[in-house]
Amino acid sequence: MNKKPFVTHEQLQEIVKKYPTPFHLYDEKGIRENAKAVKEAFAWNPGFREYFAVKATPNPFLMEILQEYDCGMDCSSLTELMLSNALGITGEHIMFSSNDTPAEEFAYANKLGATINLDDITHIEFLEKIIGQLPKTMSLRYNPGGVYQLSNGIMDNPGDSKYGLTKDQLFEAYGILKEKGVERFGLHAFLVSNTVTNDYYPTLARTLFELVVEIKEKLGIKINFINLSGGVGIAYKPEETPNDIRVIGAGVQKVYEEILVPKGLGDVSIYTEMGRFMMGPYGCLVTEAIHEKHTYKEYIGVDACAANLMRPAIYGAYHHITVSGKEHAPEDHKYDVVGSLCENCDKFAIDRMLPEIEKGDLLVIHDTGAHGFSMGYNYNGRLRSAEVLLKEDGSTKLIRRAETPKDYFATFDCFDILKGMDYSL
């Protein structure tokens, strides 16, 4: 089975003349079409907003594209907040869904007027000590505990996760917030990751909508927005059927009309915080085969490594690989496709059937647009790659330069020890 890259072999031949491999390439057309589809899928809800999970792809050029579709930003760290602020995204366009949050980050989020989404009941006091009077709008993150199961068997284990408040704590916390002068309330939950099913949001919505009704009836507190957070997955494997955001939006609408509207809650806003679904399919890692090695297995060594894309190494995650220009060749060779880290987990594919690969071939590693570049690191002194945008008109634009050794050594620049470093090769 196959997956088609968004870039053709001919385009890629031109692009690599301009930008040396490896690099992450992003598809502006795909990003725009998808962002528009998300907006339309939830247009039935007048207060709807997608807050892009910045950690997925923290690139200002890509965030700027999403801004055009009225996306807000979901931040969870100081630098993510700074990035949003630099783009003029502030106030209610920032959702600060952090956990284990340092004091100065709460202070900065509050300064930007972000909506603060608390991960724990003790953070109410923590926050109050830092900023004094609580903001008028506050949100709480719910964790129902136990195992959360969808109808198709996909599940996750909220009971084992570090996030969110228990139900009892949630009820107590809303009461405390109200007492302390908070006027607008949000409810947030993120229970299952990378769900490849149209059922997750509607199922989660039912859980949260019923809870919102209970909060209204027991506490007399009206929840103003419900944040379904992330977790909407993408089809990494060619045999998977991609989620249909229109079906998902309509599924949430049905539950909304069934549960919230009859209780007089037909004006509650729906928020989402998708990262993977907004960017994942619209990025790929382009890398060149630089070695072939025949030992107990057949290896192809490429010029990218797990420092550029960590998901296969840490989760055993599948990323489809296309050998550019050999899209129609028989997949009759079994390879491990590996990077250069001194770690045996640095493999983009294990026992993968691919066309015969020759040195110099370009490999397209699919679906790296979210949690790809951003999880990068510098182990083994490997440097982070460039990011390149393939624009709608077919031209390209560098949207982040590759790291150089100078960047790698920059944190010694306050000392003299590397003063004489020779950067010439």
What are the residues binding ligand PLP (CB under 6 A)? 53, 55-56, 74, 76, 97, 190, 193, 229-232, 273-277, 370
Closest approach of ligand PLP to the CB of residue 277, in Å? 6
Shortest-Cβ-distance residue relative to ligand PLP: 230
Closest approach of ligand PLP to the CB of residue 15, in Å? 27
Closest approach of ligand PLP to the CB of residue 229, in Å? 4
Closest approach of ligand PLP to the CB of residue 278, in Å? 7
Closest approach of ligand PLP to the CB of residue 101, in Å? 12
User: CA quadruple 258, 260, 265, 271: dihedral positive or negative?
Assistant: negative
Report CA-CA distances (Å) from 337 to 333, 370, 409: 12, 21, 29
By C-beta, is 326 or 371 nearer to ligand PLP?
A: 371
Contact 340/57 with Cβ under 8 angstroms?
A: no
By C-beta, is 69 or 277 nearer to ligand PLP?
A: 277
- DSSP of 214-281: HHHHHH---EEEEE--S-B----STTSPPP-HHHHHHHHHHHIIIIIGGGT-TT-EEEE--SHHHHGG
By C-beta, is 21 or 76 nearer to ligand PLP?
A: 76
Report CA-CA distances (Å) from 56 to 40, 75, 119, 279: 22, 10, 20, 8
By C-beta, is 276 or 400 nearer to ligand PLP?
A: 276
115: nearest Cα among 179, 188, 205, 221: 188
The kind and range of the H/E element at 322 are strand 321-323
By C-beta, is 71 or 300 nearer to ligand PLP?
A: 71
By C-beta, is 19 or 42 nearer to ligand PLP?
A: 42
User: CA quadruple 259, 263, 267, 272: dihedral positive or negative?
Assistant: negative
Contact 348/365 with Cβ under 8 angstroms?
A: yes
By C-beta, is 116 or 232 nearer to ligand PLP?
A: 232
By C-beta, is 12 or 370 nearer to ligand PLP?
A: 370
Give the residues across from 72 on adjacent strands. Answer: 51
Closest approach of ligand PLP to the CB of residue 374, in Å? 10
Closest approach of ligand PLP to the CB of residue 300, in Å? 29
Q: Go through the chain and tell me how many residues it has.
A: 425
Closest approach of ligand PLP to the CB of residue 51, in Å? 8
By C-beta, is 49 or 276 nearer to ligand PLP?
A: 276
d(CA 398, CA 402): 10
The kind and range of the H/E element at 342 are none
Closest approach of ligand PLP to the CB of residue 117, in Å? 8
Backbone φ and ψ for 50, nearest 5 degrees, come out as: -90, 125
The kind and range of the H/E element at 146 are none
